Amino acid sequence: MRIFFRVIGFFLVCMFLGMSIVLFDMQSLTSKLHQLLSVDALLWMTIAYAFAFVLRAYAWRLYLRNAITVGEALAGLCYSLLFNHLSPVKAGDVVRVAAVTKKGRVSWAVALQSVIVLRTLDLLVLVAFAGVGAIFLLNERISMTAGVVLLLMGMTAGIMLWRPPRFVSSHVMRIKEVLFSQTGVFILLLTIGSWVAEAAIIYTLAPLAIWEAVWVNSITIAGQVFQFTPGGIGTYETVMTFALSIIGIAARDGYEWALLSHGFKFIFSYVTGLIVLVVFPIQFTKYWLRRGEKRWSK
């Protein structure tokens, strides 16, 4: 499975390089960059993206039954974002666990389990958005194909929630108690809201209706499971350009908006990462040295 994901990721990066050769136009890109650098656009994109992470932080706090503060959860998410934009793999999730276990109120096992469950919930929401969008935005043949693929992705995510990986199986009862409760409804609504808020980035840049922006963002982020480079460079742009072209956006415009939206996310990840490194430092060597301990069963 890992080889399969790597192959798909490599293929998407190659497609991005091919698109760049054909579509890259500095003058056109600069024109759109001026749009991005307008005060109003930057302000709304920053507020919306930051708000998306606040919603996820609050959802994480609820899942952990208020054992952490929203600030600690937000720091963990910012660390995760930073390291995911520095590493070709999702290394940020490990650092995310380290951040919320810093104060010792949450064990490594529970923190790791929460990350797995919330990541799976993210995938379910993205698949739901993508599936509904495919029904209304695509033609019948593409909708059926996309529907089958998204259904399989949704089933996979559902199985992970119903039968989580073996090393968190001892926490199944906790997972069900939280998710299948009133708290779980709030967590789901916060998760949905966070992805709608993130879609505001492409909505601000491109001439899209809000539901189209949500669909394009959902397809793009779901495609990041094939991340092959730091921050998913190449995979992000290829998938977003393809999604935008499906709803009638010219290839060059879609490519340039994908570049700009991804560039904004990179800058955001580095700025917020620098802030949490100063405000909420973590002794990384301490956690790397503990990798061999039997902390997952604690």
Judge whether 18 lies within some domain: no
Judge whether 124 lies within some domain: yes
Q: What phi-psi label fits residue 66: left (phi over 0), alpha (psi between -120 and 50 degrees) or beta?
A: left
* 71 token code pair: 């600030």
As a whole-number percent, the residues of the chain with pLDDT over 90 amount to 32
The torsion angles phi and psi of 4, rounded to 5 degrees, stand at: -60, -45
Number of domains present in the structure of the chain:
1
Judge whether 295 lies within some domain: no
- From first CA to last CA, the distance across the chain in angstroms is 29
What pLDDT does residue 287 have? 55
Judge whether 298 lies within some domain: no
250 DSSP assignment: -
Looking up tokens 């499971």, which residue turns up? 225
Which residues of the chain are modeled with pLDDT < 50? Answer: 140-141, 289, 291-298
Judge whether 68 lies within some domain: yes
Judge whether 25 lies within some domain: no
Instruction: Find the domain containing 106 and state its range.
Output: 38-290
Query: Measured between alpha carbons, how far is 238 from 39 in angstroms, rounded to an integer?
Result: 28
For residues 222 and 153, is the Cβ–Cβ distance under 8 A? yes
Judge whether 33 lies within some domain: no
For residues 127 and 150, is the Cβ–Cβ distance under 8 A? yes
What pLDDT does residue 161 have? 55
User: What confidence tens digit (pLDDT) does each residue in 179-225 have?
Assistant: 677 888 899 999 999 999 999 999 998 889 898 999 999 989 988 88
Is 49 strand, coil or helix? helix
What pLDDT does residue 12 have? 84
Looking up tokens 């529970």, which residue turns up? 110
Judge whether 15 lies within some domain: no
Looking up tokens 């290394």, which residue turns up? 91
What pLDDT does residue 296 have? 39
What pLDDT does residue 1 have? 66
In this prediction the pTM is: 0.83
CA neighbor of 124 nearest in space, from 73, 187, 66:
187
What pLDDT does residue 292 have? 45
What pLDDT does residue 289 have? 44
Average pLDDT, the chain: 81
For residues 26 and 256, is the Cβ–Cβ distance under 8 A? no
